Amino acid sequence: MRASVEDATAVARTSVVVSVTRTYSVTTRSILMNSASIRSLIARDDMPQLPFSTLFTANQLGVNPLSGWQYEYLPWPAEVILLLRSTDVNLRATVYSGSETIQERSPVQAGGTIGVTPSELNTPPITWIAAAGDRLKLVVDNVAAGTPTLDGIIFAHPIG
């Protein structure tokens, strides 16, 4: 069966509007599979995120900025992206998802400005796939007498 992208979207019965002049060769099965994928993406509009900024005292240990977040316990499987940046080099972060340790105690990237949320452009993301019911836990320790600030953001993109 030879169909254009407009025909594929019509078969999918979604509200997605496509205007492409090229013609693609697709099978009925792939159209139906794609329509189910499109519908699941459209129905899934809950992609929570939590930006945070935490000021540390001298030698403060065990801070969890995600504590109390509505999605601290994930209700569905998700791709999780965590970006962390500190104002100095003395913070160490450990990342947990359920019973798994995603990142052992490691230095947090320094060079941040207080109150500025990091972006993937200049901060290496910590990413993983978390199962439904997993508790997301971030434990941050200040290992010096300074008072750094940790800025970060976490995204939980539902999958499945």
3-state secondary structure the chain: CEEEHHHHHHHHCCCCCCCCCCEEECCHHHHHHHHHHHHHHHHCCCCCEEEEEEECCCCCCCECCCCCCCCCECCCCEEEEEEEEECCCCEEEEEEECCEEEEEEEECCCCCCCCCCCCCCCCCCEEEEECCCCEEEEEEEECCCCCCEEEEEEEEEECC
- Measured torsion, CA atoms of residues 65, 69, 74, 78, in degrees rounded to the nearest 10: -60
Model pTM above 0.85: no
pLDDT at position 133, please?
97
* Tens-digit pLDDT profile for residues 4-51: 444 444 444 333 333 333 333 434 344 444 444 444 444 456 789 999
CA angle, 35 then 78 then 56, to 5°: 145
Question: Measured on CA atoms in the order 7, 8, 12, 15, is the torsion positive or negative?
Answer: negative
pLDDT at position 14, please?
37
pLDDT at position 44, please?
52
User: All domains of the chain, ordered by start, with CATH?
Assistant: 2-43 (no CATH), 49-158 (2.60.120.680)
Assess whether pLDDT exceeds 70 at residue 66: yes
pLDDT at position 87, please?
97
* Tens-digit pLDDT profile for residues 96-130: 999 999 999 999 999 999 999 999 999 999 999 99
* Tens-digit pLDDT profile for residues 83-96: 999 999 999 999 99
Name the band, by pLDDT with cuts 50, 70 and 90, for residue 160. Answer: confident
Nearest to 36 by CA among 16, 6, 19: 16
